Amino acid sequence: MTDYRQMWSDLGMDLENHDNLCAVLPVAFGDTYLSQENRPEGMAFYDFVVSEIHGVRPAELIEHQKNGGKVFGTFCIFVPDEVVFAAGGIATGLCGGSQFWVPDGEKVLPKSTCPLIKASVGARIGRTCPFFRIADMYVGETTCDGKKKAWEILAEDVPVHVMDMPQMKRPQDIAKWEDEIRNFIKVVEEQTGNQVTAEKLAEAIKLLNNKRKALARVYACRKADPTPISGKDALLMTQIAFYDDPARCAEMANKLADELEQRIQDGVAVFPKGAKRILISGTPMAIPNWKLHHIVETCGAAVVCEEACTGTRYFENLVDESQTTLDGQIHALAERYMKNNCACFTPNKGRIEDIIRLCKEYKVDGVIDANLKFCTLYDTEGRDVERALKEAGIPVLGLETDYVDTDAEQLRTRIGAFLEMLGE
């Protein structure tokens, strides 16, 4: 690994504590990922990204800033990255997926906050993540209560713009999201000093659509039985997509899809025929949260799809590229983003319809509906998800997980019993 200590020091990071994180991540990655057999060659790129996770991309972002560019950190798939790229900025996902950051988050947040929020706040205030140090502005949204309060805490330390999310999907809500996007354009224009024109926005819409299409190609390969890629590897690709350069992300995902399509033709698989096929639905799994996939796949089943923001919700639905005016494009953006079925909406029937559709498309044997501890939204919605799946004759296991590893054995026991039941 290249030595990035000077860069981290210039970013004002806590080098000593950051060393502790750098010591544990390669071990966790080796145990979870490098222990897999017969991985696609295309995963070498993603392995490299992880090996340089706090180096290569942060250095690119700093270079962008040196050239006068701005970096916007986001925490939710509702934030339209297109606007940022149209203004010559870079958008990068910031959600924290490691328990390492949680204790720092708990210094300012109640313990009964979901680990994703605690880790995200902890990564900032503990000064142990370069991405959180680099971003010129954070972009939050009013999706859940924990996040709303987290923005207030983060705003004491870094500029934060909050987008006010509608909580329903009526026509007036889509119009409201359009207004929020309009307002976001103004904020981004002020920050970057660049105007968002219809030409620039059209280019950015294409850029992000191409990324979505590439990710969708990889996911389409997972519909093959047996699957040519493990769920863990597919999850890693999606997690990295949140902060990689969008053009490179599309290029590498397309390369991986080429290889997977060839594997399907050649009958190359990573799980034996007959291995149970699992769809995981629920809360996002930010990098390096690989826990559930690892448990399921080391129990012998294959995760073939994620109905999650680190899954199908991230790339399904393209933005209409035919619009040539800013008004038309903003409307197209609002329509596309409002198709996302986050549990923050009421009612949220579309999510249940999506899960059932995906179960058919990916030939799923069972669903694990998993929510992060203290996420009331997904926990509550779990009741409806389980009921609908049972009615549709699809076996389902509802689980709650945390970033700590102390529940891993209990999860393994429950997942093992669920898989055994599927085998009957």
- The verdict on 240 binding ligand SF4 (CB under 6 A) reads no
- The verdict on 375 binding ligand SF4 (CB under 6 A) reads yes
Q: Cβ of residue 286: shortest distance to ligand SF4, in angstroms?
A: 9
Q: Which stretch binds ligand SF4 (CB under 6 A): 141-149, 156-164, 326-334, 388-396?
A: 141-149
- The verdict on 117 binding ligand SF4 (CB under 6 A) reads yes
- The verdict on 378 binding ligand SF4 (CB under 6 A) reads yes
- The verdict on 146 binding ligand SF4 (CB under 6 A) reads yes
- The verdict on 250 binding ligand SF4 (CB under 6 A) reads no
Q: Total number of residues binding ligand SF4 (CB under 6 A)?
A: 20
- The verdict on 355 binding ligand SF4 (CB under 6 A) reads no
**Nearer residue to ligand SF4 within complex by CB, 244 or 381:** 381
Using CA atoms, how far apart are residues 368 and 371, in angstroms rounded to an integer? Answer: 10
Q: Which stretch binds ligand SF4 (CB under 6 A): 2-10, 39-47, 111-119, 401-409?
A: 111-119
CB 142 within 8 A of CB 148: yes
> 397 has which bridge partners?
368
- The verdict on 114 binding ligand SF4 (CB under 6 A) reads yes
Q: Which stretch binds ligand SF4 (CB under 6 A): 324-332, 372-380, 390-398, 400-408?
A: 372-380
- The verdict on 364 binding ligand SF4 (CB under 6 A) reads no
Q: Cβ of residue 224: shortest distance to ligand SF4, in angstroms?
A: 27
**Nearer residue to ligand SF4 within complex by CB, 148 or 255:** 148
User: What is the SS3 string spanning the chain?
Assistant: CCCCHHHHHHCCCCHHHHHHHHHHHHHHHHHHHHCCCCCCCCHHHHHHHHHCCCCHHHHHHHHHHHCCCCEEEECCCCCCHHHHHHCCCEEEECCCCCHHHHHHHCCCCCCCCCHHHHHHHHHHHCCCCHHHHHCCEEEEECCCHHHHHHHHHHCCCCCEEEECCCCCCCHHHHHHHHHHHHHHHHHHHHHHCCCCCHHHHHHHHHHHHHHHHHHHHHHHHCCCCCCCCCHHHHHHHHHHHCCCCHHHHHHHHHHHHHHHHHHHHHCCCCCCCCCCEEEEEECCCCCCCCHHHHHHHHCCCEEEEEECCCCHHHHCCCCCCCCCCHHHHHHHHHHHHCCCCCCCCCCCHHHHHHHHHHHHHCCCCEEEEEEECCCHHHHHHHHHHHHHHHHCCCCEEEEEECCCCCCHHHHHHHHHHHHHHHHC
- The verdict on 284 binding ligand SF4 (CB under 6 A) reads yes
Q: Cβ of residue 378: shortest distance to ligand SF4, in angstroms?
A: 6
- The verdict on 221 binding ligand SF4 (CB under 6 A) reads no
CB 107 within 8 A of CB 90: no
Q: Which stretch binds ligand SF4 (CB under 6 A): 80-88, 247-255, 258-266, 373-381?
A: 373-381
**Nearer residue to ligand SF4 within complex by CB, 284 or 288:** 284
- The verdict on 77 binding ligand SF4 (CB under 6 A) reads yes
- The verdict on 344 binding ligand SF4 (CB under 6 A) reads yes
Q: Exactly one of 76, 90, 250, 280 binds ligand SF4 (CB under 6 A); which one?
A: 76
Q: Cβ of residue 232: shortest distance to ligand SF4, in angstroms?
A: 20
**Nearer residue to ligand SF4 within complex by CB, 124 or 200:** 124
Using CA atoms, how far apart are residues 1 and 409, in angstroms rounded to an integer? Answer: 33
Q: Cβ of residue 143: shortest distance to ligand SF4, in angstroms?
A: 4
What phi and psi values does residue 113 have, to the nearest 5 degrees? -105, 150
- The verdict on 147 binding ligand SF4 (CB under 6 A) reads yes
Using CA atoms, how far apart are residues 408 and 65, in angstroms rounded to an integer? Answer: 41
Q: Mask: binding to ligand SF4, 294-333, rule CB under 6 A, as x and -?
A: ---------------x------------------------
Q: Enumerate binding residues for ligand SF4 (CB under 6 A).
A: 76-78, 114, 116-117, 143-144, 146-147, 283-284, 309, 340, 342, 344, 372, 375, 377-378
